[in-house]
Chains A and B, each alone.
Chain A
Amino acid sequence: MIEVTDLSKRFGDKVAVDHLSFTVQPGRVTGFLGPNGAGKSTTMRLILGLDHPNSGSATINGKRYAELASPLRTVGALLEAKSVHSGRSARNHLLFLAQTQGLPPKRVDEMIDLVGLRDVAKKRAGGFSLGMGQRLGVAAALLGDPQVLLLDEPVNGLDPEGVLWIRNLMKQLASEGRTVLVSSHLMNEMAVTADHLIVIGRGRLIVAAATEDVIARGSGHTVRVRTPQPDRLTDLIVAEGGKAVPAANGNGNGTEPNDHAPVLTVSGIPAPRIGELAASASIVLHELTPQLGTLEEAFLELTSGSLEFGHFNAEPVSQSTEGNVR
């Protein structure tokens, strides 16, 4: 379990993490979500003892990282920033890490096989592709068979196969009862990977809840209504305190292809009540579809006002090409 309590970190007069508190429970994948520059990487570095907090604390299984006797056997971390010497082979990188923890070299070879780097294990890590580098990072994180894993933007720059690999790996690790905290600025990726979400913006906690709840929290709940009598229905909805706006007359899923009746997007009134209103006024409905908000919408709504671009440090702008990988 990871416990972050009232954690703050300033770089000069720039506040990167602002009185942040949350806990990460074992047995599930916890997504750590926030726009670029929200303080995700800094928070992870504070948990890992790489940076020193200005106030507050972060503990792993009740201990500060620096107090862990064999840290790599307790915590595995994949940092976003590169941490491999380009002139050193993958195997030697893992070997020296294993040696610091008194792990046998056999363990290094097991991890190389696990991440599928056997063919290139003796090659200089400088020649690795992004995906191979990420696999090496995962091997380093899993080296000590840790109970707690922190992965900072693990799918950044990976191809769809790599994304799937990381996603399944995280789920598997969580299912084994490990604590898995994974940061990302990709909402869609988190929606399918994380069971629980911690959303931050400008270093502050915005919400910590189950993924469904975060999605539900977004006000993106609307009802798509198709009716030949939109004006009458709109009046009824407005009288009921709702809002109805004409929507594009496109064909939604399951819509009759030849139905050209106007479409309304109704908010503020649940679908059953809209049906009742229509029935009471004998209005014909062709379609009545509740539209669930997406995590992306919920996220944008939650973090609006905490977005920050072109600020000083923390997180380089990542390749956004992965934005649509599902």
Chain B
Amino acid sequence: MSVTVASGQLESAAANRGHRAGFGHLLLAEWTKIRSVRSTVWTLLLFVIITIGLTALITWITEANWNGPHAAPRDARALTDPTSIIFGASIYLGQLTICVLGALVITTEYSTGVIRASLLAVPKRIPMLAAKIVVFAVLMTVVAEIVAFGSFFAGSAILHDRVSVSLGDFGVLRATIGAGLYLMIFGLLAMAIGTLIRHTAGAISIAVCIAFVLPILAGLLPDTSFWNHVNAYLPVQAGEQVYLIHPPSPQLLSAWEGFGVLCLWAAVLMAIGAYLLRKRDA
């Protein structure tokens, strides 16, 4: 194998010297990383299809087994709060998928060793993480809003004969946009945990615990003012306000306050992750 390194080729890069790489270049690089792994692309595609499909299935079951609001509590709920029936499935399943995706986006860098290549290219480290956050957040916002609006349109169309709900109704547009945003932030929360833990299985487990186990445990808290406050500020309980139109019980936080609290959780965890990323040996 000849190694005439073709000085011409090396010079051509030398000619490019001088224009320094900026944050835009890092965004482009992170986008290349995320789109060039087939598993990510397939997971996202399945995420969209399955969540919208499941929403359609559940609303169809509700519709097909309609007994009237006096006979079935589910039907009563569908009448008073149709969006909760519509989003119930997509958010539950969506949360799970997005926890996995969010964690994987950073932990696969560690499991495959790509982190070394990444950090050699961006030795200040934080700009790499920041670019990853932006690219993942934008991608997840798009995908999660497709899921939220897709679920809404599919679900409301199927329920149409029993109960009519449209984006123009009180709180519905906010809840639909909110459902997408909630999923996106949960993805970032999982990514923050991935940055902290650096292990795929561990990060996914913790993210899933926060999403599914913590709310159940919180349900066991004593019904006192103090514990009600604690409960209200937990990630899921606070965050879900943004897609609920008729919360089951009076809530301490409003829709956007709750969403802000969830964002704060994600931000704090990500800040700790960023600090450790800088501090630790890669």
Taking Cβ atoms with an 8 Å cutoff, the residues of A that contact B are 45, 48-52, 65-66, 68-73, 75, 77, 79, 81-89, 92-93, 95-97, 99-104, 106-107, 110, 114, 116, 140, 142-145, 161, 164-165, 168-169, 172-173, 176
Contact = CB atoms under 8 A, between A and B. Distances in A.
Interface of B: 1, 3-7, 9-14, 16-17, 19-22, 25-26, 28-30, 32-33, 36-39, 108, 112-124, 128, 279, 281-282
B122 A169 contact: no
A103 B123 contact: no
B111 to A, nearest CB: 9
B134 to A, nearest CB: 14
B37 A87 contact: yes
| Most B C-beta atoms less than 10 A away, residue of A65, A70, A168 | A70
Contact of A50 (B25, B37, B282): B282
A48 to B, nearest CB: 6
Contacts of A85: 37, 108, 112, 114
B123 A66 contact: yes
Contacts of A173: 5
Given A48-B120, A97-B29, A97-B121, A103 B16 contact: yes
Contacts of B14: 145
B123 A71 contact: yes
B107 to A, nearest CB: 12
A102 B21 contact: yes
Contact of B112 (A45, A86, A140): A86
26 contacts: A50-B119, A50-B120, A52-B279, A66-B123, A70-B17, A71-B120, A82-B112, A85-B37, A93-B114, A93-B117, A100-B25, A100-B121, A102-B16, A102-B21, A104-B16, A106-B12, A110-B13, A114-B5, A116-B1, A140-B117, A145-B13, A164-B1, A169-B3, A169-B5, A172-B4, A176-B5
B18 to A, nearest CB: 9
A101 B112 CA distance: 22
A142 B6 CA distance: 12
B32 A72 contact: no
B122 A114 contact: no
A110 B122 CA distance: 22
A128 to B, nearest CB: 13
Contact of A95 (B10, B32, B116, B122): B32
Contacts of A75: 120
Contacts of B26: 99-100
A50 B38 contact: no
B30 to A, nearest CB: 8
B155 to A, nearest CB: 34
A77 B5 CA distance: 17
A240 to B, nearest CB: 51
Given A89-B36, A107-B16, A100 B122 contact: yes
Contacts of B113: 81-84
A88 B108 CA distance: 12
B279 to A, nearest CB: 8
A96 B112 contact: no
A168 B3 CA distance: 7
A97 B282 CA distance: 17
Contact of A102 (B22, B115, B118): B22
A100 B21 contact: yes
A111 B12 CA distance: 12
A144 B120 CA distance: 12
Given A72-B121, A165-B3, A83 B25 contact: no
Given A97-B117, A114-B5, A144 B33 contact: no
